A = this chain, B = another copy of it.
Amino acid sequence: MTQAIHNFSAGPCILPPSVLSQASQAVHDLDGMGLSLIEISHRSKAFVDIMEEARSLVRSELNLPGRYEVLFLQGGASLGFLTAAMNFIPEGGSMDYAVTGTWAKKALKEAKRIGGAQALSSSEETGFDRIPALPSSSAADFVHITTNNTIYGTQYGADPVIDTPMVADMSSDIFSRPVDIEKYACIYAGAQKNMGPAGTVLYIYDTERIGKTGRDIPSYLDLAVHADKDSMFNTPPVFAVYTSMLTLRWLKDNGGVEGARDRNAAKAACIYGEIDRNPLFNGFADPGSRSVMNATFTAADDAHTSAFLAACDEAGISGIKGHRSVGGFRASMYNALPLASVEVLVEVMREFERTRG
């Protein structure tokens, strides 16, 4: 019998088995059409329906007011850094950036090319081990946050309380819990964590806050251009949109973002409980800033690191090695990861304590 694999990869990452199976079937034959999903026109009724269902599921699952637009584009959050800055920072205006990790720094770097972007706060001095508190308001037009920091395993515990409208990179925790959407002028998120495969990036934005920069924006970077064409300004990334739609259907069928929040809380309690209890391991992130998506921890004795990685490997645990910036281990527990996989990891940690402690 083949051993089960427990996929803790930081992204691209685990997706629901039913989604993988339907996506595989659609590449062979889409809904009995006799044609593959990837060889039909994106203007065909079959694909237009897919795109519309994907956009509609984002609206319903995040409970979006009608004035919010939903787009599935390309270029990942890395192009999103530029796109968000271009579409929201007014000429002569500004966006404040909360610098909570590598990706937040990159977002600020791209925005600085546009002008009007500056750091609001940073936890770089403590190795990005925490999320600094935000002020209750900012003099800037917008505040940019990175809601979850995969590398360091830190996350805002809830939507920040701040008067200034926010622009948020939610690549690694979108759909993991409900969002108070009215606080956000724009949310963008690469698909490859909780939403689908790599290759598409979701934009959600308040149509009342866009088109006010006074800036000439190149067509592909102009969100309004894409909205005007119902997210089909050019050929969309068909497979990534389809598979995201399937994952959103799965989310809906499994209690929506509330269900995801509860399951994610249970998984986080399981792993952090063990990290805090087991003397052989230390948590990396400050407890008040711990991420429900990515738990980062190290071996109390660094000589144990490679042995623990080997023990994980033997148990079918995949993708547990920490990012080089932090070292040690990282358990990424995105929406599709079952609690049972976290329990297997915890059991390996306990067994490690029994044999090496």
- Spell out A's residues near B (CB within 8 Å): 2-3, 5, 7, 9-15, 20-21, 23-25, 27-28, 34-36, 38-42, 74-79, 81-82, 106, 109-110, 113, 190, 192, 197-200, 216, 218-221, 233-240, 243, 318-319
Contact = CB atoms under 8 A, between A and B. Distances in A.
B12 A35 contact: no
A231 to B, nearest CB: 13
Contacts of A78: 219-220, 233-234
Contacts of A9: 39-41
Determine how many copies of this chain the complex contains.
Answer: 2
A77 B234 contact: yes
Of the candidates A9, A81, A200, the one having the most CB atoms from chain B within 10 angstroms of its own CB is: A9
Nearest to A192: B235
Contact of A237 (B11, B41, B237, B318): B237
A357 B235 CA distance: 39
A35 B7 contact: yes
Of the candidates A5, A74, A221, the one having the most CB atoms from chain B within 10 angstroms of its own CB is: A74
Contacts of A35: 5, 7, 318
Nearest to A316: B34
A109 to B, nearest CB: 7
